[in-house]
Chain A
């Protein structure tokens, strides 16, 4: 059911910077709807990381940043730490679904 496409996995060494892409279409990201990002450590509930494309909720480190352009968005994580190892999901509203569209999910491995 996922209509937003993400790479299955990304990896990086501690201290490095990684980016995760999220590709949508004209019924979601391309229609101007905001993109949000979540972090999910296996066995726990997702946690909101970025909302409204670029905004970090209180308590989220500024190592995490979001951007959006056209029908795509990206999550960047700088200064990688072992605790960043988790699954990451993008999400946006989709007019054809009249509800949320989630990304396929990306597993981040810290080498």
Chain B
């Protein structure tokens, strides 16, 4: 079965840290750029970060640059998002997505919820 499964979300206080993980199954993980996309409660979709196939090229949204770090381990078919200096506005469901043709997002996981609150 082709899928991605996110984990690592939870509740944290402002200024805290979390590490999200995304395990990929059923496809050649090391051949695809991967992204994190988030959705705040009741809001739209926002790009967070992307990483190329060998992990050397990374991009970040302005809102998270300097606080979040994306990485991947192709030997484990796993994508990560290390989040630090968390703010209340980072509260959202975080989705791990595979980049497909046309810079589209083909495979979506169920998402993992991050809640930042005091």
B45 CB contact (under 8 Å) in A35, A46, A57, A93: A46
Number of B residues near A (Cβ < 8 Å) is 25
- B104:A45 contact, CB within 8 angstroms: no
Does residue B27 face the partner (Cβ distance < 8 Å to A)?
no
- B44:A2 contact, CB within 8 angstroms: yes
Does residue B25 face the partner (Cβ distance < 8 Å to A)?
no
A97 CB contact (under 8 Å) in B47, B102, B108: B47
A20–B37 CA distance with the chains assembled, in angstroms: 22
A97–B104 CA distance with the chains assembled, in angstroms: 16
- B44:A93 contact, CB within 8 angstroms: no
- B45:A45 contact, CB within 8 angstroms: no
Chain B interface mostly: strand
Can you list, as one digit per residue, whether each of B93-118 has a CB less than 8 Å from chain A (1) or not (0)? 00100001111111011110000000
Does residue B72 face the partner (Cβ distance < 8 Å to A)?
no
Can you list, as one digit per residue, whether each of A35-61 has a CB less than 8 Å from chain B (1) or not (0)? 110100000011110011101010000
Number of A residues near B (Cβ < 8 Å) is 29
- B108:A51 contact, CB within 8 angstroms: no
CB within 8 Å of A: which residues of B?
35, 37, 44-47, 49-50, 59-63, 95, 100-106, 108-111
CB within 8 Å of B: which residues of A?
1-2, 33-36, 38, 45-48, 51-53, 55, 57, 89, 91-93, 97-105
